[in-house]
Amino acid sequence: MHKKKKTKQRILIAVSIVFAFSIMRSLSPRLFVANTPTLNPEFVATLQKSPVAVFAYLGNIQEDATLKDHLETAKIPRSIPPEGLSYTPIAKGVQASEITENNKKYIKIEKGTKLEVHTVILSDGKTVKIYVPVE
């Protein structure tokens, strides 16, 4: 019985060492500068922001990509444009189609394009959301 417990403990130690090695192997390029003991200044700046930002940085998640951003993206109205439309670039990551037969204009926004959302009240009292590309 004593021998079984000792073997189990040694296996647990070996697994822990392998786990710790793999974690450090994957995280050290983000924590340190070019295999030196110097901390990466980006990591230090992220550390000062918040603990959530640290996990996003280490996980290689885009810094400003949050659940809120994904929810805001989902609120943009979507429609399926007719086939054969030609698009003209109007801003980085944004393209507009020519006016179709039914007097509709379609806007194509590329994935990853950052937009500012502005709410405008028109003179007739209608409230309209305007999406303005940033950068």
pLDDT at 52 over 80: no
What tokens appear for 108 in the block?
């194509």
DSSP secondary structure string for all residues of the chain: -HHHHHHHHHHHHHHHHHHHHHHHHHHHHHHBSTTSSSBPHHHHHHHHH-HHHHHHHHTT--TT--HHHHHHHHHS----PPTT--EEEEETTEEEEPP-TTS---EEE-TT--EEEEEEE-TTS-EEEEEEE--
Listed by start position, the domains of the chain span: 2-58, 67-133
55 compared with 107, residue with greater pLDDT: 107
42 compared with 70, residue with greater pLDDT: 42
What tokens appear for 55 in the block?
């996990």
Model pLDDT, residue 1? 59
Name the pTM for this structure. 0.40
What tokens appear for 129 in the block?
């959301």
Model pLDDT, residue 60? 55
